[in-house]
Amino acid sequence: MKDTIIKQKFDTLKTFPTLKPEILKIAENYVNHSDDWKLLRVNPLKFADEHKLDENETIDFFVHSAKVGLFDFAYNLICPMCGGIVHSHHKLDEIEGKEFHCVSCNIIVPTLLDDQVEVAFQIHPSLQNNQIDPFVDVNHYFRYFFSENFDKSIELRTWIQSTIRDFAKIEPDASFTFSYETTYGNLQGHLLQFVSIDRNTMCLFSVDPKLPPTNQIFLVDVMESGMKPNTVSIPVGHHQITIHNRTRFTMGLNVLSPNPTELGRIAKTFPTKRHSFLTAKMLLNNQSFRDLFRIQKLSPDLNLNVKSLTIMFTDLKGSTEMYDTAGDIIAYKLVQEHFRILTEIVRKYKGAIVKTMGDAIMATFSTPTEGLLAALEMMERIDSMNLDWKKEGYEIGLKVGLNEGSALAVVNDERLDYFGQSVNIAARVQGLAKSGEVWLSETVWNATDPEELVKQHGYFYRKQRAMLKGVGTPVPVFQLSRNKLKAPSKWKQLFQRS
């Protein structure tokens, strides 16, 4: 561990006003006194919980620490069934494809930023020479290539261990040979699986009793693209199977006797406990990440799926007229104070401002509840701000719209942005609002159960249907206002204003 450089990193972190001294002190002690395993993949949510720290502030620390080179990002693609780390990347745009294949479970998993992309933090390699050899034995191998955030039951771990026939470390251009014998009397478990989790490849041998009995020798080559062949039918007999590593990397190899039916039964009866971890969606909704890595070079071809994103659009009522009546200086101060308030509240509710458009913002949150709470507090804070400015004869009116749905994370004008119908609907819903109103789509309303929450903040609400531009049929929307709302007639509809 390079103590002098680490101290310099923490001295740099102390210059960021957003980082609390308490967190920096705890983190510096953690880095200086932790072993290689603890610094391999730090989970910020677990770190916050163990040290009784604020979750948001802890995530901010780790994001800042990645910026100064204390930690590296690790974007891990996680299998939801076994918790295996199928792929690990240091940059977001290294994640490719809409799905990935877990060779251990032999299942296809959608690449969703919500659930399947774990963001951990690894101590920067320039600061520590990690001495972990993941191939020394099967216990090291499993600990290294499986996420600690998936805590398997004792029953499931015991069963998995019972399926392991052998384990080997294979150097480049080296081989491993395994002898396998089957008879007509033991065909019930007739599968043999060679799995390399670190290379994410496998070869499955299945016994075909219809083939004439014979003893055979089989060769499987591990290439950069995977094992060749990856499926083999073999007869009853005594066989010798050789796995040859033709890659440039040392690899691990598990020899298993899989039983997918039994695995499914045990996993259902004794389910794996999943601990909370920082997801890629949560990271993209972190304002510090947006601010510090906004100039990060990302591939223009990046497009990643988010299953559930809460999208907010805001706008100001009367700001253009204010520039005419109050003059540029006063109007600019008002608008900038409004931006400061909105940014502070978005950050408070674990959201991030994606972009500003004139006097409007687009922000995203990980949950509808956080988005709604942010919108209601924005209204309260803008009202408080207006109390002071009204004495000078000026005020602004805020309008907010919220929608929840799937979206595509893309690069737009060298900035992470979101694309899709859910984004369009959020903008259209905001377009229905008048000054001082919050409008919600039905997905936000149903996800938050907000009736009591809305009343506590002094709002009335009304459900109606609206024709939104770009949406073929009328959709349910909810209007929130501090003014008492008249119930609309049964067939009354609102039409999107341009």
pLDDT band at 105 (very low <50, low <70, confident <90, very high): confident
pLDDT band at 203 (very low <50, low <70, confident <90, very high): very high
What pLDDT does 186 receive? Answer: 56
Given a cut of 60, whether residue 495 has pLDDT beyond it is no
pLDDT band at 185 (very low <50, low <70, confident <90, very high): low
* Three-state secondary-structure class, residue 94: helix
How many other CB atoms are found less than 10 A from the CB of residue 446?
A: 14
What pLDDT does 487 receive? Answer: 58
Given a cut of 50, whether residue 491 has pLDDT beyond it is no
Given a cut of 80, whether residue 188 has pLDDT beyond it is no
What pLDDT does 452 receive? Answer: 83
DSSP string, 225-278: TEEESSEEEE-SEEEEEEEEE-SSS-EEEEEE---HHHHHHHHHHSPPEEPP--
DSSP string, 396-457: -EEEEEEEEEEEEEEEETTEEEEESHHHHHHHHHHHT--TT-EEEEHHHHHHH--HHHHHHT
> One-letter amino acid identity for 124?
H
Structure-token pair, residue 419: 């694309």
What pLDDT does 320 receive? Answer: 64
Are 263 and 270 in contact by the 8 Å Cβ rule? The answer is: no
Given a cut of 60, whether residue 496 has pLDDT beyond it is no
Domain residue ranges in the chain:
3-132, 154-271, 299-495
The DSSP output letter for 56 is H
pLDDT band at 393 (very low <50, low <70, confident <90, very high): low
CA 63 to chain centre: 14
What pLDDT does 114 receive? Answer: 93
Q: Which of 97-106, 218-227, 481-490 has the lowest mean pLDDT?
A: 481-490
Condensed to tens digits (0 to 9), the pLDDT of residues 268-305 reads 899 889 999 999 999 999 999 999 987 556 666 777 89
Averaged pLDDT, 477-493: 69
What is the CATH architecture of 299-495?
A: 2-Layer Sandwich (3.30)
